Amino acid sequence: MTSTDNDCTMQRVVLLRCKNKYIQAILAEDALLDLSVLQKFLDEEFVPVQRSTSETAIPISPLSEFPHLYNVMTLLDSSVDTQLLNFNRLIDEQINANDENSELIDKQLSISLDALKAHLSNTDKDFLKLEFSIDNSALQQEATNPENDQEQVIQSLKTFTTLRIKQRLEETLEIPPLSQTAQRIILLRSNPNAMVSELVEIVESDPSLAAQVVSWAASPFYASAGKVRSVQDAIVRVLGFNLVSNLALGLSLGKTLSLPKDKTNGVTPFWEQSIYCSMLVVAISKLLPAEQRPSEGLMYLSGLLHNFGYLVLAHTFPPHFSQICRYMEANPDISHMAIEQHLIKVSREQICVCLMQQWNIPKEVISAIRYQHSPHYNGSNCVYPNIIYLALRLLRQRGIGDAPLEDIAPHIYQKYNLNEDSLNHLFDEIIDSAEEIKAIADKFNG
């Protein structure tokens, strides 16, 4: 490869901190920054700095000649073989699409490598070249054989935890048993002659669940006529039996596990992301031709539970979950599936569907969770994961959620006769309810 070819490649810079020490790492834009390699080399645990939150909180000086690079030890990945560094982003990758500085994202900056090295040398800052990245092509983006999920989950548990393998997965994971409310809803959903009064009684037996269902129905997104005063109101006048039964099931399952104390900085909170997704997937599904349209209730449930594996990971792999969070902060454009496969050899989606199967969750929801990042999945119930895939990427384009920041596969639009203008209009309507969505999410967090 010629130097001209190399000089066309793009790089990124990640600022890291360990206590009061700072370093910056420069690597290929689409490569994974392997934090464990830096830790071994430096014998210290450096974590990404969230520069988008407050530049003034960083007690180090930027380089006047090179905006948004710092006068600190600089590590250049050995895969970067060029004399001209090209950066797509002038600020830390953690920037949110809603951030006031987001207009800087599309600007580019080119820096002479020799000039950068000379400047650092003049200020007695080390410049080192070593191998600390993994090429994107070498990462496993998703598990391709669902029939091996159970085996892969068990092997990961044996390798990365001290859990004793038992006959049932939820016992192995030490997951609390399903609540009585969740068990009663599952049983009710299987009864074709179920009555509204039975669902009302189940939901009202759990005061927090009842409050959440009423809050959901009262959201301006549904524009209900008159005030929603009760669970029966929410079912009969606004949401319907099918949607409320699935909504209540999703919320009950969500309360089975607590939100983790650690989290990935810069990522939409769990319940907020789940609510956005559930609202968007139902809105999208209403645009589909009747013969392709999925069950509204099951679509809601799929949206609510699409990221349930996040809670399972946090519960089952606590130290590794924190490590996953730091890797996601350092590699915001690398999919969480690739990061999880790299660190624990299994994805949140795999472990989640294995658990859902044992809980007898509807197969449509299981397909939605398992294949939500597989745009070419065309198996049974494919409409559920296809619409989740579309919704998650639309959300990420607006700075919501943690789906990969990537172009949407064009065939998805064609397959369901959708157009971007209609979807953007839908999105605008949902964004108009942003404050209400956050308020509902806050109640769930409590």
What are the pLDDT digits (tens) for 7-56? Answer: 567 888 999 999 889 999 999 999 999 999 999 999 999 999 875 544 55
What whole-number distance in Å separates Cα of residue 352 and Cα of residue 143?
Answer: 13
Task: Say how many C-beta atoms besides its own lie within 10 A of residue 162's C-beta.
Answer: 6
pTM recorded for the entire structure: 0.87
- Single-letter amino acid, residue 355: L
**Tokens encoding 251:** 């919320």
User: Please, which residues have CB within 8 angstroms of residue 38's CB and are 6 or more apart in sequence?
Assistant: 16, 23, 25, 46, 75, 132
What whole-number distance in Å separates Cα of residue 29 and Cα of residue 425?
Answer: 32
The domain 146-174+259-445 is placed in CATH, from the list 3.40.50.620, 3.40.50.1820, 3.40.50.720, 1.10.3210.10, at: 1.10.3210.10
Q: What is the pLDDT of residue 85?
A: 84
The answer to whether domain 11-90+104-138 and domain 146-174+259-445 are alike in fold is no
Q: What is the pLDDT of residue 51?
A: 56
Pairing status of strand 109-112 against strand 84-87: antiparallel
Q: What confidence tens digit (pLDDT) does each residue in 355-391 have?
A: 898 888 999 999 999 999 999 999 989 999 999 999 9
Residue 276 CB-half CA count within 13 A: 26
Q: What is the pLDDT of residue 99?
A: 45
Q: Would you place residue 108 in the very low, low, confident or very high pLDDT band (cuts 50, 70, 90)?
A: low
**Per CATH, which fold does 11-90+104-138 belong to?**
YbaK protein (3.90.960)
Q: Is the pLDDT of residue 100 over 50?
A: no
Task: Say how many C-beta atoms besides its own lie within 10 A of residue 417's C-beta.
Answer: 10
Helix, strand, coil shares of the chain, percent, nearest 5, are: 50, 10, 40
What whole-number distance in Å separates Cα of residue 439 and Cα of residue 446?
Answer: 11
**Tokens encoding 217:** 């129905």
DSSP symbols for 151-196: HHHHHHHHHH--PPP-SSHHHHTTPPPPPHHHHHHHHHHT-TT--H
Q: What confidence tens digit (pLDDT) does each residue in 159-217 have?
A: 998 888 887 787 888 888 888 888 899 888 888 888 999 999 999 998 888 888 888 88
254-288 as b/e: b if 16+ CB within 10 A: bbbbeebeebbbbbbebbbbbbbbbbbbbbbbeeb
The SS3 assignment for 437 reads helix
CA 303 to chain centre: 12
Q: What is the mean pLDDT of residues 314-341?
A: 93
- Tell me the Cα Rg of the chain: 24
C-beta of residue 175 within 8 angstroms of C-beta of residue 403: no
Q: Is the pLDDT of residue 341 over 90?
A: yes
Sequence spans of domains, the chain: 11-90+104-138, 146-174+259-445, 176-256
Q: What confidence tens digit (pLDDT) does each residue in 59-99 have?
A: 777 776 776 688 899 999 999 988 888 887 544 443 343 44
What whole-number distance in Å separates Cα of residue 400 and Cα of residue 85?
Answer: 30
What whole-number distance in Å separates Cα of residue 90 and Cα of residue 68?
Answer: 6
Which of 102-111, 223-232, 380-389 has the highest average model confidence (pLDDT)?
380-389
Q: Would you place residue 3 in the very low, low, confident or very high pLDDT band (cuts 50, 70, 90)?
A: very low
Pairing status of strand 133-134 against strand 32-33: antiparallel
Q: What is the pLDDT of residue 38?
A: 95
What whole-number distance in Å separates Cα of residue 219 and Cα of residue 437?
Answer: 8
